[in-house]
Structure 1
Amino acid sequence: MNYTYYGMFLWLPSVLSEKGYSLVHSLGYVLVMTLAQVPGYLTAAWLVERWGRKKTLVTAMILAAVAALLFGLANSTAMLIVCGLFLSYFMLAAFAGTYIFTVEQFPTVARATGMGWAAGFGRIGSALAPFITGWLLGVHLGYGWIFGLFFAILLVGFVIVVTLGYETRGKDIH
């Protein structure tokens, strides 16, 4: 998720600018899209207790993945903004779900270490993504391919959480 988030949102104004939007419009659209992160985060924070950690996380991840793919294929301003809003909303919902889900996957005695390692690997993705995305933009593969990569990375994370993680809501995790 870190790879997708930092690879995408750091380059989003440039992507919109390359699609023909002025810098002012690009920054404005990104601002509007970014505002959707607050309700996404708050919704997931509420859902993890009502619906469950895993269900909230995997739902947000798959919907963020689909939104990323659709954003890359968008061919109109309305579609860009709508897909960007959904992408922003569900990415932050996935992050909110991740924080509580991940920490609870480890026994108490290893919780800080486990979460630290998980966060550290996430930071590697955060550091690499802007460079790789910039390179991909430079070789002009097309936005469908670049956002398709974001889709694929989120899909891999989705499969990992579905197959390896377990639900902890309402369970004694000590």
Structure 2
Amino acid sequence: MTYLLLKYLHILGATVILGTGTGIAFFMLMAHRTRDAAFVARTAGVVVTADLLFTASAVTLQPITGYLLMREAGYAMSEPWVVASLALYGVAGLFWLPVVWIQARMRDLAQEAAARAEPLPPRYHRLFRIWFVFGFPGFGAVVAILWLMIAKPSF
């Protein structure tokens, strides 16, 4: 029973990370395409809240449930797929942490532009490009981790 509960919580956490990341990327991209500073500000505000509430919670619990699940199933930390998963988790974190700050800054810049009834400033667009590019390795690492969790390859 403990194994199944841990497995459920771990899969749920992975689903939240992947789903929230996908949703956030979609909504930010769609808001950005409007070039409407007020709309971007509102969307980015919700995105920042969702990232801090859902993604941060899941990101915090994943290593805990993963470790407990691994221990319960009898896997060693030295298993190649575990080592690769942890390395990719680090990669995902290296790209996700700046993205959270970038989203908050984009929100602030959009709010300022909306308050002045001005277009989104060049700084916003620079941050958006970085945010967009950082999404690929961050999201790719999460997708690869999911594959490693399922396949457990020995390399």
State TM-score, norm by structure 2. Answer: 0.46
Higher relative contact order (CA 8 A, sep 6+): 1
Higher Rg: 2
Q: Which has the higher helix share?
A: 2
TM-score w.r.t. the length of structure 1 is: 0.43
